Each structure stands twice: as structure tokens, then as C-alpha cells.
């Protein structure tokens, strides 16, 4: 049952007191505590609206669960709370999707988006066909026809699989650093390119489009392995348009370390000959950027070094990519409610995008697997298959999942939420043939091998080499 406003206020108060109490025990001398107490005391004088209460309870939940995880990392309660919370939020989204699109059986009927896309120009065509002017409502069912290199339609009617393949390939292309819209941090996570202005005059339209497409993938429960930088996730979730210096470590650990050393520098800072500028290299050309008006003629001294440190971090983390982040966030919001997204932590949101970074649960996968082409749960080949994959290492299990679904991670709530469901279909009795997969349908085509040894050998060869991979 949902809480009313009075109950939420009481719960928020109790959680606040618990969090502050734990902070006081863990860090009795922390200066932060006094600031938090002062802020919460002032906030009691002002009533919260419903959206603010949802965000507050979400933030307090994240804090409490984080502290629980630190204090009791093996507590079973934590997993249950997270699972229940995630399931409720996820069901909320899919209830909206069902109301908007209708049931899955009506995929080929009713209002829909119908587009033709050249496979070798997937980003350019999609950017044009799916613009807000051409398709204002991206929540509608989408049916896609892919065209080959000579302009001919590829075989097949889109019953959902071609659309999912298209969306997956589009996102991989859009987030590919080689396209120019995203850059990699030192931790190999993605964030908007700070230099895109020099490459693309209409860059904001592209970030709006990419945000919109990612929103569509989440709306359709499509997992894509796109690792986003934590500070970028933080901005997207409405937890603040700006992030502080601590996030700089994930973006540029060298600059972060240099700034920390500068903060504790014991000599005369003015002797370092620094000023309030930074240098940005764009297309091979160095450009001097002022961190504040008049920064070129303002030396960094011991009295203003802290301001310099924060302005430098703010420029790298916020100023340089602010327009890109705002446009991306607006595109995301065009499909998904930001109030809904704000209920998730950055780590949870990454899990929504890419799946859970946990070992593949073969028993759970087996429970929700479908069969075709003469196979059933009791077929001898299928029994051999499950015995073989149960003996795989965690890495091999992830490779199998990626081979069949194009994503190596399991869905957030387990394989009951994989759409279409994982399916194994007979590929006949050609014993020399390797297993193959149609990732757009999450379909494994498995020949009827006579022994487990041959099945294991052929399956491992296929998943480790990528042999037998079929796009459609």
C-alpha cells in the first residue's frame, strides 16, 4: 500500500534521524554532521511537495542501505529490500508501457512507428527518421525494416526481434567513442565528449536524440552493455546538475591527484606560476580557457588556491559538458519520467541499462527458458545442455549469455524479465555444425549432438570465437 503524505513525512524524519545517528557514531568529529543537522533543522520549517518527498525518501533509502551494506555486508535483509524496491519501480514502468502500447499480442496492430533503416548508415538514418519532428511519441510500438548495402530490404517481418536488434546496434554506434559524441574515462566508462562543439555545430540535437533512444531501450527492457561514468549517471538521475571534486578521480586520476597535492602544498603556491586558466586541446589546437573572468591575469596564491582547485574540478566535471548533459537528460525525459528515475541510485541505474554485474544463475535461466523445433525440457540433448553449462566457469556462462542475447549480464530482476525469453531450438542432426544464435530473438540454435563431450566442445568453440553469430 502507498504511504500518504503524513506517513512519508514521519518516515523521512525517522530515516533522517537514523542516518544522522549512524554518521555521528562513525564520524563523531565530522564537520559535515553540523552542516547536515543545520540544513535538516531549517528544512523542517518548510513543507515538502510529493515529488520532493519521493526524492528525499529515495536519497535516505540509498544512504541507509549503503550504511547497512558497510556495517553488515552479509546481511540477507539488504538483498531482499533492494530486490523488492527494484521490482516495485520496474513494475511501475511496465504498467505504464502496457497502458500505452497495449498487450504484446497486438504488436502488429494499432498505432506504431514504421521506419526503414540502412544497416550501414544506422545512426544517420535513425537520427533523421526518429527526430522529434518526425516521431514525436517514441513510446509507441516500433517496427523496423533493415536494408542491406545495395538498398534491398532484408528478409523477415519485424515481430519485435528486428526492432530490438536495430535499437541495440544503434546504441552501440551512438556511444562508440569513434563517432565522437562520447569519450572514455581512465576507468573505461563513457561520458559526453567535451570537444564535440568543434566537430558538430548541432551537437545538442544529437545528445537529445541519444538520450531519447536510451530512454526507449529502458522502456522496452532492452539491455545494452554501455558503461556510463558515475558522475554522468548522477547528473541524469536529477541528483544534481553539478558534481564535486571527488568524482574527478574517475574522470582524470592524474589531475585529481595533482589538485589534492596542491591543496596540501607546504611551499609558496605563487612560486608555481599558476593562474586561473586551463588548456583545452581541440582538433590538435591548444585553447586557453579562463576558469573565471580575468583568470589570465589572476595568479594562484596560498590564499586562493582552494578556489582554484574547485574551479578546475568544476570546469572538467561540469562546465565543459553542461550543455551536452542537459540535452541528453531532456531526451531521456522525453520517454521516461525523471521522477521515476530519481528513485534509483547511479549504480542501480547502470544495472537497469546493462544488467546486473553478478554471475549468471543457470538454474534461474533454465527455469524461464523456452524450447522449439522438437526440443523440450525433457529432451536428452536439452538435459545434456544444462549439465554442460552448469559446469561452465562464470566467464563462460557470461560468454554464453552474450552469444545468445548480445549482453553478457543477466536482467535486473532475473530471467523472468528477459524479453523475448531465452529459447533453444533444434538445428537438426548435422553433427559438424556449430551452435548458432539469433540475438534479436534471444534464440540459440543447437544441433542434436549425440554426446555431452561433443556438445561441450562445439558450444565452447562457438561462444568463445563468436562463430555462428547471426544478426537477424
Q: How far is 349 from 337, CA to CA, in rounded Å?
A: 13
β-partners of residue 118 are 147
Which residues lie below 8 Å from residue 165, measured CB to CB, with a gap of 6+?
146, 439, 440, 471, 472
Confidence check: pLDDT of 445 > 80: yes
**Sorting pLDDT into bands at 50, 70 and 90, what band is 15?**
low
Cα-based angle 423, 142, 371 (whole degrees, multiple of 5) = 10
Segment 416-431 shows an average pLDDT of 92
Confidence check: pLDDT of 60 > 70: no
Write down the pLDDT at residue 231: 92
Segment 422-443 shows an average pLDDT of 92
Write down the pLDDT at residue 339: 81
**Sorting pLDDT into bands at 50, 70 and 90, what band is 111?**
confident
Q: How far is 152 from 120, CA to CA, in rounded Å?
A: 12
pLDDT tens sequence across 255-310: 999 999 999 999 999 999 999 999 988 777 888 999 999 999 999 999 999 999 99
Q: How far is 313 from 321, CA to CA, in rounded Å?
A: 12
Q: State the burial class of residue 267 (Cβ atoms within 10 Å of its Cβ: 0-12, 13-18, 19+).
A: exposed
Confidence check: pLDDT of 62 > 60: no
SS3 label, residue 7? helix
Residue 306 to residues 33, 251, 314: CA-CA distances in angstroms? 21, 20, 12
Q: State the burial class of residue 162 (Cβ atoms within 10 Å of its Cβ: 0-12, 13-18, 19+).
A: buried
Query: Which of 38-42, 64-68, 106-110, 274-278 has the least mean pLDDT?
Result: 38-42
Confidence check: pLDDT of 377 > 70: yes
pLDDT tens sequence across 123-161: 999 999 999 999 999 999 999 988 988 888 776 655 677
Q: Judge contact between 411 and 223, C-beta under 8 A.
A: yes
Query: Which of 25-34, 55-64, 261-270 has the least mean pLDDT?
Result: 25-34
- Spatial CA neighbour of 93 closest among 265, 338, 263, 320: 338
- Mean pLDDT is highest, among 7-11, 136-140, 219-223, for 136-140
Q: How far is 420 from 85, CA to CA, in rounded Å?
A: 24
Q: What is the CA radius of gyration of the chain?
A: 26
Q: How far is 212 from 321, CA to CA, in rounded Å?
A: 18
Q: Is the peptide bond before 420 cis (omega within 30 degrees of 0)?
A: yes
Higher pLDDT: 176 or 72? It is 176
Higher pLDDT: 325 or 41? It is 325
pLDDT tens sequence across 157-210: 556 778 888 999 999 999 999 999 999 998 899 999 999 988 899 999 999 999
Which residue do the cell numbers 563462460 mark? 396
SS3 label, residue 301? coil
Write out the H or E segment, with its range, that includes residue 53. helix 50-71
Q: Kindly list the catalytic residues.
A: 440
DSSP state letters, 319-337: GGGHHHHHHHHHHHHTTS-
Neighbours of 1 (CB within 10 A): 4
Which residue do the cell numbers 528525499 mark? 56
Amino acid at each position: 500500500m502507498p504511504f500518504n503524505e503524513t506517513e512519508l513525512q514521519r518516515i523521512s524524519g525517522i530515516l533522517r534521524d537514523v542516518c544522522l545517528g549512524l554518521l555521528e557514531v562513525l564520524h563523531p568529529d565530522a564537520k559535515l554532521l553540523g552542516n547536515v543537522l543545520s540544513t535538516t533543522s531549517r528544512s523542517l520549517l518548510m513543507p515538502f511537495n510529493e515529488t520532493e518527498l519521493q526524492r528525499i525518501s529515495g536519497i535516505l533509502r540509498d544512504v541507509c542501505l549503503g550504511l547497512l551494506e558497510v556495517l553488515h555486508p552479509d546481511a540477507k535483509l539488504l538483498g531482499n529490500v533492494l530486490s523488492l524496491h527494484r521490482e516495485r519501480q520496474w513494475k511501475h514502468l511496465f504498467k505504464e508501457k502496457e497502458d500505452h502500447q497495449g498487450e504484446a499480442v497486438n504488436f502488429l496492430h494499432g498505432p506504431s512507428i514504421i521506419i526503414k533503416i540502412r544497416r550501414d548508415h544506422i545512426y544517420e538514418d535513425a537520427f533523421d527518421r526518429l527526430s522529434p519532428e518526425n516521431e514525436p511519441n517514441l513510446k509507441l510500438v516500433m517496427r523496423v525494416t533493415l536494408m542491406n548495402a545495395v538498398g534491398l530490404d532484408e528478409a523477415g517481418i519485424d515481430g519485435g526481434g528486428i526492432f530490438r536488434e536495430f535499437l541495440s546496434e544503434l546504441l552501440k554506434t551512438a556511444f562508440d567513442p569513434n563517432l565522437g559524441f562520447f569519450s572514455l574515462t581512465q576507468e573505461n566508462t563513457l561520458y559526453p565528449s567535451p570537444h564535440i562543439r568543434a566537430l558538430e555545430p548541432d551537437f545538442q540535437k544529437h545528445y537529445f536524440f541519444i538520450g531519447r533512444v536510451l530512454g526507449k531501450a529502458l522502456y522496452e527492457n532492452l539491455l545494452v552493455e554501455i558503461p556510463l561514468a558515475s558522475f554522468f549517471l548522477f547528473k541524469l538521475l536529477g541528483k544534481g546538475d553539478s558534481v564535486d571534486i571527488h568524482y574527478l578521480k574517475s574522470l582524470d586520476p592524474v589531475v585529481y591527484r595533482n589538485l589534492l597535492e596542491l591543496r596540501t602544498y607546504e611551499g609558496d603556491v605563487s612560486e608555481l606560476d599558476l593562474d586561473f586558466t586551463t588548456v583545452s586541446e581541440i582538433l590538435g589546437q591548444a585553447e586557453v580557457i579562463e576558469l573565471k573572468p580575468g583568470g589570465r591575469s589572476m595568479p594562484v596564491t596560498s590564499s586562493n588556491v582552494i578556489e582554484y582547485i574547485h574551479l578546475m574540478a568544476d570546469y572538467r566535471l561540469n562546465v565543459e559538458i553542461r550543455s551536452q548533459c542537459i540535452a541528453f537528460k531532456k531526451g531521456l525525459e522525453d520517454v521516461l519520467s525523471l521522477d521515476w528515475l530519481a528513485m534509483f541510485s547511479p549504480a542501480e541505474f547502470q544495472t537497469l541499462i546493462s544488467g546486473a554485474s553478478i554471475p549468471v544463475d543457470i538454474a534461474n535461466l533454465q527455469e524461464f527458458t523456452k524450447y522449439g523445433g522438437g526440443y523440450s525440457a525433457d529432451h536428452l540433448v536439452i538435459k545434456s545442455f544444462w549439465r554442460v553449462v552448469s559446469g561452465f566457469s562464470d566467464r563462460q556462462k557470461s560468454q554464453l549469455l552474450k552469444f545468445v542475447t548480445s549482453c553478457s549480464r543477466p536482467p535486473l530482476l532475473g530471467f523472468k524479465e528477459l524479453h523475448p525469453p531465452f529459447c533453444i531450438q533444434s538445428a537438426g542432426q548435422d553433427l559438424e555444425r556449430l551452435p548458432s544464435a539469433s540475438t534479436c530473438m534471444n534464440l540459440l540454435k543447437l544441433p542434436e549432438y549425440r554426446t555431452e563431450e561433443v556438445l561441450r566442445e562445439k558450444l565452447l568453440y562457438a561462444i568463445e570465437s563468436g562463430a555462428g553469430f547471426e544478426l537477424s
